[in-house]
Amino acid sequence: MNLIIDVGNSFVKLAVFEGGTLNHKEVVKLNLVLEGINSLKEKYTSIKKAIISSVGKLNKADIKAISKSFDVMILDANVKLPFKNLYTTPNTLGVDRIALVCASVEQFPNNNVLIIDAGTCVTYDFVTAKNEYMGGAISPGLRMRYKSLNNLTVNLPLLESEIPKNIIGNSTNGSIHSGVVYGILKEIEGIIDEYHRKYSDLTVILTGGDANFLSKQLKSSIFANSNFLLEGLNYILQFNSNE
Give percent of the chain with pLDDT exceeding 70: 99
Are 208 and 91 in the same domain? yes
The verdict on whether residue 87 carries a ligand-binding annotation is yes
Please give the residue range of the domain that contains residue 142.
Answer: 84-233
pLDDT at residue 243 is higher than 60 = no
Are 10 and 58 in the same domain? yes
Are 134 and 51 in the same domain? no
Taking the C-alpha atoms of residue 50 and residue 40, their distance in angstroms, rounded to an integer, is 12
Residue positions annotated with a catalytic role? 96
- Helices 95-107 and 228-241: crossing angle in degrees, nearest 10, is 80
Mean pLDDT of the chain: 94
| 53 confidence band (pLDDT: 50, 70, 90) | very high
Region for residue 223 given its phi and psi (left: phi exceeds 0; alpha: psi -120 to 50; beta: otherwise):
beta
The reply to whether 218 falls in a domain is yes
* pLDDT 10s digits, 211-221: 999 998 898 88
pLDDT at residue 55 is higher than 70 = no
The number of C-alpha atoms within 13 Å of 88 and in the hemisphere containing its C-beta is 1
- Position 58 scores a pLDDT of 84
Domain finish residue from 21, 52, 74: 74
Are 195 and 110 in the same domain? yes
* pLDDT 10s digits, 218-237: 988 899 999 999 999 999 99
The verdict on whether residue 113 carries a ligand-binding annotation is no
The verdict on pTM exceeding 0.75 is: yes
The number of C-alpha atoms within 13 Å of 52 and in the hemisphere containing its C-beta is 21
Across the range 45-71, mean pLDDT stands at 90
| 84 confidence band (pLDDT: 50, 70, 90) | very high
Residue 23 is part of a domain; what is its CATH number?
3.30.420.40
The verdict on whether residue 62 carries a ligand-binding annotation is no
Q: Among 152, 212, 194, which Cα is nearest to 176's?
A: 152
